[in-house]
Structure 1
Amino acid sequence: MSAAERTAVVASPVGLHARPAALFARAAKATGLPVTIALDGGDPVDAASVLSVLTLGAGHGQRVTLRAEGDGAEAALAGLVALLETTG
């Protein structure tokens, strides 16, 4: 089983709040892999949980770390990073 880790900068002007958090969580769940997201130096939370993503409090321009395990983890994270870095 492969594991992958990537960092991203939150592009949304409102950060990972409400709609951007819901879109991100839905995309994370759609990967079918266990995916976590964490602020730099923070504890990771379940990226597929809208509530967990909201409680992270990631704001515009903040760096987050994504981790995934399983076949296709690199590709899954590439898609999630692209979503975080382009949602505006």
Structure 2
Amino acid sequence: MKEEIIEITNRTGIHARPASLIVQKASEFDAEVLIINDNKEANAKSIMGIMSLGISQSTKITIRIEGSDEEQALKELKKLIEENINE
């Protein structure tokens, strides 16, 4: 299992567009991918799950990944969240 805490820098947080990008990326992997915010967790392959977490700017989320391709999944999701979903 791999786990990392990431701070959301996008000024609008994780709304529909960034959530859909996360779902697309997470769905590329066989590993189970969870996003955790304030002791609530959601499957990162579910847009409704991610949206239900109410992630705003400056929130620190935990990404927990378990599976055969967990290292690659964590690397790519971290890069996506830190670099590509900023508006």
Q: TM-score, length-normalised on structure 2? A: 0.88
Partner of 1:77: 74
Gap runs ≥5 in structure 1: none
Q: CA RMSD in A?
A: 1.2
Corresponding residue to 1:42 among 13, 20, 39: 39
Gap runs ≥5 in structure 2: none
Distance 2:29 2:5 in 1: 17
% identical equivalent positions: 29
Partner of 1:27: 25
Partner of 1:55: 52
Aligned residues between the structures: 85
Contact in 2 for aligned 1:7/1:81 (Cα 8 Å): no
